[in-house]
């Protein structure tokens, strides 16, 4: 950036639950005291259900030390052998390094009925304290006397996968490539574990947070449910996470106050509830849980009736950052059409998206759509030769390159070839199936691991809409901005998205208060101009909620009416928000 920047971006936002830490135990000694107080004399079953990615052996060691059980039963001893587990989902998982068919499996399918019966028989004959632990413990132990749920944020799981510390569900594959482990977790493990988790919310006695390996935290099930309820009825932010990439830039280091010694940051997942986490605040104690739990537990309050009816317990809107400032071009890519993603991958809807420019530098641009009168067969032939290393693909021969400046909005319905160019800071507003990107050209570079990133030309060729050429793109996808309302100190503009996309976006410029309504559907916003703003309830339904520049925040449908105005250093100055919501009217 051209001058020193003092960041006020909050990397660890908290959903307040209580002013007191009463009922929260921090550290294994405090947790041990709590558990000892819970256990009754005689036969007593402590069931510890673990989300895949927890360090089960470490947790077991601490709980055995605390409780001194007479018997320990491990859920993983009930699993089928590895060959049988891999055979179970082999057809859906396939051999593609990135994509698979979305798994519909239940955890009981991973269990060997004979081993399960054996362990249940052991449990039935136990007379004292028995500890049943692991992913699937609730399928072994029921009925239990005390249920502890060990949850795990997916970003932490990915770090453990990359470090070779955790395997996939039912396997011993810690040393397998992280990309392969992530793929199996995304399409199988997490779907299986989430289906089980949904059945347990109201039955959890204690929630154990072991995201910080050396600082576990425990709260009651009632506190946990209260935290989710609080989040569903007030503005909140999920915990962002940042990742480098081969094209990554330098903008987020300054604006988001990230370590300056990192080579780059390419992505910020600023609002991807399936992957992000929530921090629940109990006094000074912060308990981390996956933010998707809120969608599972309070879908109607969070999403609204119409959005829930359409998407179920999925959060359909995704906001993330793509930083190429002083970096490189994103991969040239295309996203699948709806019917293609349904048939090939078992997803209900596709990744329609848009690029909202938070900033742009010299030469900032977006590659979008195809040029007029190109030879489609020649373009595909060139891409195939480029993949083989025979040539460098000449993107400018086939693809439109549009200059980009701050606050431009480029709409990208599925099937449109595109990528962001160097020196562009993108707020990507999209539908949630973010993994389904068909890379067609990666500019001849390697990934951070020193190997070429996977290219999916055949998928891409089947989805390119060849009629999305220069005139159509210019008329439909670039700055389709219209003023829709204004008042004292504010103006509202519609900025998209395209009619093929289910997300609507509105930008508000304001120097004073702006009245908003969720209109019974979830709203996702980003403060795209101004240092600071405050979100308030006109009826006092929630306490004032402060947001800072570039922060993405969620307004649950249950909030109803709310007001946003400049705050603190931005009072009297011009601010702007970009808001996304699901179109529900015909």
240-287 pLDDT, tens digit per residue, is 999 999 999 999 999 999 999 999 999 999 999 999 999 999 999 999
Q: Band of the pLDDT at 323, cuts 50, 70, 90?
A: very high
Farthest CA pair distance, the chain: 81
Which tokens belong to 453?
A: 């990133």
337-368 pLDDT, tens digit per residue, is 999 999 999 999 999 999 999 999 999 999 99
In this predicted structure, the answer to whether residue 450 has a pLDDT above a threshold of 60 is yes
Which percentage of the chain shows pLDDT scores above 70?
Answer: 99
What are the residue ranges spanned by the domains of the chain?
15-231, 482-582
Residue the block writes with tokens 């996808």: 477
Q: Which of 4-13, 200-209, 505-514 has the lowest mean pLDDT?
A: 4-13
Which percentage of the chain shows pLDDT scores above 90?
Answer: 97
- As to burial, measured by CB atoms within 10 angstroms (0-12 exposed, 13-18 middle, 19+ buried), residue 556 is buried
The stretches of 128-259 forming alpha helices (DSSP H) are: 137-141, 154-162, 178-184, 190-198, 221-231, 251-255
Backbone angles phi, psi at 232, to 5 degrees: -75, -5
**What are the distances in angstroms from CA 121 to CA 81, 114, 141, 142, 454?**
21, 11, 10, 12, 48
Over residues 534-556, mean pLDDT = 98
Residue 474: which residues within 8 A CB-CB, separation 6 or more?
none
- As to burial, measured by CB atoms within 10 angstroms (0-12 exposed, 13-18 middle, 19+ buried), residue 159 is middle
In this predicted structure, the answer to whether residue 534 has a pLDDT above a threshold of 70 is yes
pLDDT, position 4: 67
Query: CB of 117 within 8 A of CB of 62?
Result: no
Architecture per CATH, 15-231: 3-Layer(aba) Sandwich (3.40)
Q: Band of the pLDDT at 581, cuts 50, 70, 90?
A: very high
Distance, in Å, from the CA atom of 264 to the CA atom of 425, rounded to the nearest integer, reads: 13
Q: Band of the pLDDT at 5, cuts 50, 70, 90?
A: confident
In this predicted structure, the answer to whether residue 584 has a pLDDT above a threshold of 90 is no
Superfamily of domain 482-582: Jelly Rolls (2.60.120.10)
145-170 pLDDT, tens digit per residue, is 999 999 999 999 999 999 999 999 99
Residue 403 DSSP SS3: strand
383-414 pLDDT, tens digit per residue, is 999 999 999 999 999 999 999 999 999 999 99
Residue 136 DSSP SS3: coil
Per the prediction, the chain carries an average pLDDT of: 96
67-92 pLDDT, tens digit per residue, is 999 999 999 999 999 999 999 999 99
Residue 377 DSSP SS3: helix
Strands 15-18 and 277-282 turn out to be parallel
> Which helix (H) or strand (E) segment is 62 a member of?
helix 56-67
Asked if residue 455 has a cis previous peptide bond (ω within 30° of 0), the answer is: no
């Amino acid at each position: 950036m051209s001058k020193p920047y003092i960041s006020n971006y909050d990397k660890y936002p908290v959903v307040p639950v209580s002013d007191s830490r009463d009922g929260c135990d921090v550290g294994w000694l405090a947790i041990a005291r709590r558990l000892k107080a819970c256990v009754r004399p005689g036969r007593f079953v402590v069931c510890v259900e673990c989300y895949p990615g927890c360090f089960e052996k470490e947790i077991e060691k601490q709980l055995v030390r605390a409780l001194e059980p007479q018997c320990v039963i491990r859920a993983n001893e009930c699993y089928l052998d590895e060959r049988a587990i891999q055979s179970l989902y082999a057809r859906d998982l396939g051999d593609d390094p990135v994509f698979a068919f979305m798994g519909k499996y239940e955890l009981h399918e991973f269990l060997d009925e004979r081993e399960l019966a054996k362990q249940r028989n052991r449990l039935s004959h136990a007379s004292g304290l028995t500890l049943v632990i692991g992913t699937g413990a609730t399928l072994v132990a029921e009925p239990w006397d005390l249920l502890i749920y060990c949850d795990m944020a997916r970003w932490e799981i990915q770090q453990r996968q990359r470090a070779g510390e955790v395997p996939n569900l039912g396997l011993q594959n810690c040393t397998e490539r992280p990309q392969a482990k992530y793929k199996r977790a995304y399409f199988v493990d997490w779907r299986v574990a989430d289906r089980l988790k949904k059945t347990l919310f109201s039955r959890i006695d204690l929630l154990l947070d072991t995201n910080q390996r050396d600082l576990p935290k425990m709260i009651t099930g009632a506190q946990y449910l209260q935290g989710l309820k609080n989040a569903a009825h007030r503005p909140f932010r999920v915990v962002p996470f940042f990742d480098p990439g081969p094209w990554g830039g330098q903008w987020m280091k300054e604006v988001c106050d990230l370590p300056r010694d990192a080579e780059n940051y390419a992505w910020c997942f600023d609002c991807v509830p399936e992957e992000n986490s929530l921090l629940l605040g109990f006094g000074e104690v912060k308990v981390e849980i996956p933010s998707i739990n809120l969608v599972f537990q309070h879908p109607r309050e969070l999403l609204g009736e119409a959005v829930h009816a359409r998407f179920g317990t999925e959060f359909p809107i995704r906001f993330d950052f793509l930083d190429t400032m002083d970096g490189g071009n994103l991969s040239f890519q295309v996203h699948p059409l709806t019917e293609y993603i349904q048939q090939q991958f078992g997803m209900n809807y596709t990744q329609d998206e848009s690029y909202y420019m938070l900033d742009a530098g010299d030469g900032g641009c977006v590659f979008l759509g195809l040029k007029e009168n190109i030879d489609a067969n020649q373009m595909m032939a060139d891409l195939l030769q480029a993949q083989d290393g025979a040539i460098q693909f000449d993107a400018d021969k086939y693809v439109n390159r549009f200059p980009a400046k701050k606050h431009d909005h480029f709409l990208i319905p599925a099937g449109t070839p595109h990528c962001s160019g160097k020196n562009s800071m993108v707020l990507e507003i999209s539908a949630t199936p973010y993994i389904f990107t068909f890379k067609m050209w990666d500019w001849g570079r390697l990934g951070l691991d020193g190997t070429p990133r996977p290219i999916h030309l055949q998928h891409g060729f089947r989805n390119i809409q060849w009629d999305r050429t220069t005139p159509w793109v210019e008329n439909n996808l670039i700055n389709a901005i219209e003023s829709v309302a204004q008042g004292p100190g504010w103006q509202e503009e519609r900025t998209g998205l395209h009619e093929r996309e289910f997300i609507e976006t509105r930008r508000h410029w304001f120097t004073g208060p702006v009245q908003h309504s969720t209109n019974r559907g979830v709203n996702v916003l980003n403060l795209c101009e101004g240092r600071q703003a405050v979100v308030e309830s006109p009826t006092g339904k929630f306490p004032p909620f402060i947001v800072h520049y570039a922060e993405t925040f969620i307004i649950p449908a249950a909030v109803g009416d709310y007001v946003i105005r400049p705050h603190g250093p931005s009072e009297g100055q011009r601010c702007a928000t970009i808001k996304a919501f699901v179109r529900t009217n015909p």
